Amino acid sequence: MSSEISRYTITAALPYANGPVHIGHLAGCYLPSDIYARYLRKNGKDLIFVCGTDEHGAAINMKAQSEGAEPREIVDRYHAIIRDSLDKIGISFDVFSRTSKEIHHKTAQDFFTKLYEKGSLEEKVTQQYFDPEAEQFIADRFIVGECPNCHFGEAYGDQCENCGTSLSPTDLISPKSRLSGAEPILKETKHWFLPLDHLSGKIKDYIQSHKNWKPNVYGQCMSWLDSGDGLQARSMTRDLDWGIPVPLDDAEGKVLYVWFDAPIGYISATKELLGDAWEDYWTKDDTKLVHFIGKDNIVFHCIIFPAMLMEHGGFHLADEVPANEFLNLEGRKISTSRNWAVWLHEYLEDFEGKEDVLRYVLTATAPESKDNDFTWSDFQTRNNSELVAILGNFVNRVQVLMQKYYEGEIPKAGAFTSEDKEALASMAATPASIAESLESYRFREALSRMMGLARLGNKYLADQEPWKKIKEDPERAGTTLYVAAQICAQLAQVMEPFMPFSANKLRTDLQIEALAWEDCNSQELLKAGHRIQSGGHLFSKIEDETIEAQKAKLEAAAAAKAEPQYEALKEEIQFEDFTKLDIRVGTILSAQKVKKADKLLHLEVDLGFEKRSIVSGIAQYFNPEDLSGTKVSVVVNLAPRKLRGVMSQGMILMAEDSEGNLKFTSAPADMPNGAVIR
């Protein structure tokens, strides 16, 4: 990048179109990228803000398979949900495209062809996993197994979502296919590889030229480059039936690897937006390219995509990659598979008109340098104690006092006191202070500095007490409200990147237009005589009942999709041990509670060849009068013993669910009593 920046290209990670976006996605890359883009626009910068849905790869196939739908149905549905929810929360993309569009297919295929013709790709016949039951090669995401790093049992073939380690399917311990559950076998197949091992020198030089990157980004990149055997060649094609066909004659049934085609989506979206002018934003050295992503995408945006661009030639590489860490939820990792998430489209339905509240809270708690936690209680506290009690309270008090004493007209200022001068000077310095933070991608700090202005206004108004001075010293009261009105006007400008809806409402109330950032450093943003209107409260209190309802909703949704928890396996036995058990079909004839024993029932069971007395600890789960005629499975050769004075001559077999509920394990109704269960 040259010292003079003529334009900016801002990208936000393409969301997979296999489900809605949640607050973790929003905090990770969409909010910070939007704040940055809005700030640059307010500075009059030439920029494009690019995104779109990633609609290829195994994740789409998996979702389609689980719903019994076609991949096209899945991507059409979720593209619309994602597009609409991001738009409603105020993410101001210049283009939000799709990787299923023809322009993207052509761009990605042309890119691949260029690399192929330059000899930048290596053709290899390798062994890939094949599902013998489904009779097809299976993509990395269709394989699960034990992570060799953290030993998480459900790691994917390309990445462990528990520890974040990138993997290859052959790294997994005890892999199995998600298609059929079968153990996959290795089978030969041909693919085209990007030789990252041969490019590692160039990639390392590129990474080391950006030591100013966030420590988590630079550190992860260097770890990839320096650990073990370093970078290895990576296949850029896959055996799949959904995706962009590999544009070679001998590549039937093969598609481009999703992490080859997805980042090219930024380029194709720019073509869609600008036509032939797209090249200025991707090839010129005076362009600043910034990728906003989550930490799980660092390797793809900092190593693989730059390597692709280097080999193609003619492209400008990323100047900044301000990746965030992960956002957790109520102390637990967000999990889409377990439905432990706050979905953005549902938030927008449940909290209509509170878009900026979520933007504020997620920015204030953004996981910029380490994983952070979102809780509904903190959400409520920040809304009620900060947005309502500080920012909203200050603005409302100024508007009310202006209407009460001056019919909404800005009074003429008298002589300024030292407190007035200090307040106006701090106000005028705030835009530069916020800008310093934003240009260093410290969004939490920038938001805090914006809120510092609201705190300053609140304290200034409380200290000066114009409602008391209006009678004894009206000029002093007028000067105080003049200064307070300037602070309100400043807030209406500098709030814009963070809370655009509230900033627009406040500007409407103050009857002012949006200003360029450089024009916000004035000490007079509202002239004496300018008339404002009273527009009501910017923010409203969120009650305990609302928060409790969200907590209950979260727990209920997770419980509905909870994966069963299985008891650990017992010590291995030999076949001969099992054959010692004599299990027979029986029918309960009668049941009654055992005296002085809350958990025990005394059962009389017909085994065909005889009737037996059996004591079972099931009184908490069944009414005795309901059990007569119930088929059961009985271990009949268990040594008899007395329980609470009642002889028990066997054991009834029960099944227990994850919540501890018991049910009888029984043979079909037509199976005679005494029949052997083997």
Q: Indicate the annotated binding residues for ATP.
A: 336
CA-to-CA dists, residue 425 to 98, 418, 437, 556, 653, angstroms = 47, 10, 19, 52, 80
Helical pair 102-117 and 305-312, crossing angle rounded to 10 deg:
60
The answer to whether the beta carbons of residues 382 and 456 sit under 8 Å apart is no
d(CA 653, CA 376): 44
d(CA 7, CA 263): 20
- Phi and psi torsions of 666, nearest 5°: -135, 155
DSSP alpha helix (H) spans, 209-239: 215-226
The answer to whether the beta carbons of residues 194 and 233 sit under 8 Å apart is yes
d(CA 213, CA 206): 12
DSSP per position, 233-284: -EE-EEE-SSSPBPSSTT-TTEEE-HHHHHHHHHHHHHHHHHGGGGGHHHH-
The answer to whether the beta carbons of residues 341 and 357 sit under 8 Å apart is no
d(CA 296, CA 290): 17
- DSSP 8-state class, residue 182: P
Count of CB atoms within 10 A of residue 66's CB? 11
Residue 327 CA neighbour count, 13 Å, CB half: 27
What residues contact 552, with CB distance under 8 A and at least 6 apart? none
Binding site residue list for Zn(2+): 147, 150, 160, 163
Helical pair 443-464 and 418-438, crossing angle rounded to 10 deg:
170
d(CA 551, CA 545): 10
Binding site residue list: 147, 150, 160, 163, 336
SS3 label, residue 193: strand
The C-alpha angle 361, 367, 370, rounded to 5 degrees, equals: 145
For residue 234, the cross-strand partners are 194
- The position carrying tokens 């069971």 is 605
What residues contact 210, with CB distance under 8 A and at least 6 apart? 218, 319, 320
DSSP per position, 443-505: HHHHHHHHHHHHHHHHHHHHHH-HHHHHHH-HHHHHHHHHHHHHHHHHHHHHTTTT-HHHHHH
For residue 292, the cross-strand partners are 12
d(CA 232, CA 560): 42
Token representation of residue 122: 């290596």
Helical pair 196-208 and 305-312, crossing angle rounded to 10 deg:
100
DSSP alpha helix (H) spans, 338-392: 344-350, 355-364, 376-382
Q: Is 660 left (phi over 0), alpha (psi -120 to 50) or beta?
A: left
CA-to-CA dists, residue 487 to 393, 483, 499, 503, 575, angstroms = 13, 7, 17, 13, 82
For residue 48, the cross-strand partners are 9
d(CA 442, CA 368): 8
Say how far residue 530 (Cα) sits from the centre of its chain: 45
